[in-house]
Amino acid sequence: MKSAVLVFPGINRERDMARALRLISGREPAMVWHAEASLPDGTDLVVVPGGFSYGDYLRCGAIAARAPVMDAVRAFAAQGGLVLGVCNGFQILCEAGLLPGVLMRNAQLKFICHDVHLRVERSDTPFTRGYNAGQVIRVPIAHGEGNYEADEETLKQLEGEGRVLYRYCSPDGVVDDASNINGAAHAIAGIVNDRGNVLGMMPHPENHVEDIMGCTDGRGLFAGLVAHLENAA
Amino acid sequence: MKARVTVTLKSGILDPQGKAIEGALKSLGVDGVASVRQGKVFDIELSGSDKAKAEAALKDAADKLLANTVIENYRVEVLS
């Protein structure tokens, strides 16, 4: 799997992401500066990492979403290329119009930084095939604006088309208000676009991939992508 | 030319920041505050003197960047 990690001013999780990709795919990802007009040849996966691009000025991800490299990402996604956005990356993908909806201020108005549980809603997608449907995984979150909102029509469409891949839940997989950490509509933690090749999620799977991290539940996401691409090749 | 673009949340969109400000105003004893919605103001200086052109450019700016029209409305005013 040849991956490209986008780098914007103010992004700070790109090296965690690169480490996870290197570890699981066995290949060094390319780091791509936001001013680039193209992606490296043969890119299989574009990752928009987390952080605080442009200091979260204007709206989280708003300015990064208009960077030159995003035109290349849009073209890549239009051809069916896989795109993963984590945390600020999810916000950037929404602002760029690659995913519907918006990430609002957490309902409790607090920046939240700790582990959460996610229910994997289905396993038949490139982004979830490393897990079983219904499986509960533990991964960290670290965000102040992760409260996913969209209009009723969009939410209905996301649910109807099975595009909610990850949902906040209790340790035993129950989706309830208490586990919906940031107040997101339908407890949404991660969604895909209509074609299923662009995933945005607030939690950080890249931070739970090694024993030293105390948990390796995030590995499945990356291992699933590697397996998907190997099968496609 | 001076212009102002005002960006506000659409009605029905939850505004936790506005709610917090509302709570703070009430706790300060400011009388008669029923509710607060917060937004953004952009004061923009434009070169040229064609008002219609300026309005079109500001609208373009708001659509492309200043507002997220999924959740926000905007108003464009050319002031002088």
Superfamily of domain B2-78: Phosphoribosylformylglycinamidine synthase subunit PurS (3.30.1280.10)
**Is B80 a residue whose pLDDT tops 90?**
no
- Is there a contact between A104 and B70 if contact means CB atoms under 8 Å apart? no
pLDDT of residue A217: 98
pLDDT of residue B17: 84
Residue B41 forms contact with A (CB below 8 Å):
no
**Is B13 a residue whose pLDDT tops 90?**
no
> Comparing A7 with B11, which gets the higher pLDDT?
A7
Residue A63 forms contact with B (CB below 8 Å):
yes
Mean predicted confidence (pLDDT) in A51-72 = 96
The mean pLDDT of chain A is: 97
Whole-structure pTM value: 0.94
Task: State pLDDT tens for residues B40-67.
Answer: 999 999 998 999 999 999 999 999 999 9
Helices and strands per DSSP (H, E), number in chain B: 2, 3
**Is A82 a residue whose pLDDT tops 90?**
yes
First to last CA, chain A: 10
ipTM of model: 0.84
Give the Cα separation of A4 and A34 in Å (integer).
12
To the query of whether residue A60 is one of the catalytic residues in this protein, the response is no
Give the Cα separation of A38 and A68 in Å (integer).
9
Confidence of residue A233 (pLDDT cuts 50, 70, 90): confident
Query: Smallest CA–CA separation between A109 and chain B, in Å?
Result: 7
Give how far Cα A140 sits from Cα of A87, A112, A126, B29, Å.
11, 10, 21, 40
Angle formed at CA A107 by CA A70 and CA B29, multiple of 5 degrees: 125
Option in B13, B20, B68 nearest A109 (CB)? B20
> Comparing A84 with A109, which gets the higher pLDDT?
A84
Q: Tokens for B60?
A: 């373009």
Which residues have a Cβ under 8 Å from the Cβ of A68 and sit 6 or more positions away?
A34, A35, A36, A37
Give the Cα separation of B52 and A216 in Å (integer).
58
Mean predicted confidence (pLDDT) in A106-117 = 94
% of chain A exceeding 90 in pLDDT: 97
Give how far Cα A94 sits from Cα of A20, A89, A116, A118, A149, Å.
24, 9, 22, 21, 11
